[in-house]
Amino acid sequence: MKTGTELHKMHTVAHPAPRPRDVVGRPLVCRLNDRQPARSRSGPAQEPGPPRGPNLDRVWPQRIPSSGVVGLELVASEIVKLPDVDTRQYGPGERLGGDTPERLKRLHVYIRDGAVGLRLAAGRSTPALLEVFGPGRLLSPWLWEAKPGLEMERRYATALAPTTTLELPADVFERQVAAHPPLALSLASLNAYGCAMSLDRLAMLALRDPLRRVAHTLLSLLERLSAAPGSAPGARLEVGQELIAAFASLSRQTTNRQLRRLARAGMTASKRGAVDVRDLAALRGVAAGRRPLGR
């Protein structure tokens, strides 16, 4: 019969340290809460409370705590010290990479401020909006790789507002990540946070109620474009209705009708190229389906 120490050794598996490319190149953090709630001997385990952010129902993934401003500044401060880093300014509508977008396949692009929209052109007149990235997001080279069987699709990114990026060669950045564990930890946290937001949007697109879609879109864009992940979102969303409609995957006409309903309820006020959110709590209630509005 084996002793307890021997059994422990048999069931102990050494896990290799993550490679830098696993952190900055292809973040695979999609199951954001693998911990199971502890079972109580006196009864069933209590259900965890809802996560923060613009949630719809109780199906949203648990958020990994983000390092916020500290994490952003650590990443930015480490990037600017590296050789060959290039600081670029983009105006609204300008494509990242300029006239040579192929070079993005060899770069990591860190968004210092502003906003970037990832779009897909695949034989359609209006490119689809895949995602919106705000301050602190890192666009990796793999983002531009063509998938097998989808060689005809073409992804590109455009600035949605005046945007500043820090761009540097992939190999230079990955060596720095491997040599700087705090930087790797901050990147892993920011990547996990971005993955959680993408999962939120996928669940939002499954909703049939256009009002809930628009309400959730406003909250999601506020969160994406805030100065730091996890911080309280601002009250003004500096985007037009066209972007809101594209993010919600709705027509401009449908989006406009839902925005008018929210405005009549006193939750928002639409202006030229912007939406003011006046009641975040009420807007979250609409997004979660807890607060119906009249037509």
Q: How far apart are CA 201 and CA 205, in angstroms?
A: 6
Task: Encode pLDDT of 2-41 as tens digits.
Answer: 454 444 444 444 444 444 444 444 433 333 333 444 444 4
Residue 236 within a domain: yes
Residue 206: CB atoms within 10 A of its CB come to 9
What is each CA distance from 147 to 46, 99, 101, 125, 195, in whole angstroms? 43, 23, 17, 21, 20
The percent of residues above 70 in pLDDT, for the chain, comes to 68
Q: Is 105 helix (H, G, I), strand (E, B) or coil?
A: helix
- Parent domain of 250: 208-295
Average pLDDT over residues 131-155: 78
Whether residue 174 contacts residue 20, with contact meaning beta carbons closer than 8 Å, is answered with yes
**Rounded CA separation 180/270 (Å):** 45
Pair (189, 76) in one structural domain: yes
Same domain, 118 and 104: yes
User: What tokens does 64 get?
Assistant: 């990994």
Split into its structural domains, the chain has a count of 2
In a domain, 243, yes or no: yes
Q: What are the residues whose beta carbons fall under 8 Å from the beta carbon of 220, sequence distance 6 or more? A: 54, 197, 200, 201, 204, 247
* Cα–Cα distance for residue pair 192/62, rounded to 1 Å: 11
Domain shared by 111 and 93, yes or no = yes
Cβ partners under 8 Å of residue 238, min gap 6: 161, 225, 273, 274
For residue 100, the one-letter residue type is: T
Write the pLDDT tens digit of every residue in 114-123: 999 999 876 6
Place of tokens 């080279």: 141
Q: For residues 48 and 289, what is the distance between their CA atoms, to the nearest angstrom?
A: 20
The answer on 213 and 202 residing in a single domain is no
Residue 9 lies in a domain: no
In a domain, 199, yes or no: yes
| CATH classification at residue 295 | 1.10.10.10
For residue 171, how far is the Cα from the chain centroid? 24
C-alpha distance from residue 236 to each of 84, 239, 249, 270 (Å):
36, 9, 21, 10
* Domain closes at, from 206, 237, 269: 206
pLDDT digit string, tens, across residues 126-140:
788 989 999 888 898
- Residue 56 in contact with residue 288, Cβ under 8 Å? yes
What are the b/e assignments for 148-180, b being 16+ CB within 10 Å? eeeeeeebbbbbbbebebbbbbbeebbebbbee
Tell me which amino acid residue 4 is. Answer: G
Question: Looking at the structure, do residues 126 and 260 belong to the same domain, yes or no?
Answer: no
How many residues does this entry show for the chain?
A: 295
Domain-embedded: residue 49: no
Indicate the residue among 156, 191, 206 that finishes a domain.
206
Q: Which of 177, 206, 235 is the last residue of a domain?
A: 206
- Considering the domain architecture, whether residues 124 and 84 belong to the same structural domain is answered as yes
Classify burial at 51, counting beta carbons within 10 Å of its beta carbon; exposed 0-12, middle 13-18, buried 19 or more: middle
pLDDT class of 245 with cuts at 50, 70, 90: very high
- What is the average per-residue pLDDT within 77-92? 88
Question: Which residues, in sequence order, are bridge partners of residue 269?
Answer: 276
Is residue 79 domain-shared with residue 162, that is, in the same domain? yes
pLDDT value for 252: 94
Its pTM stands at: 0.70
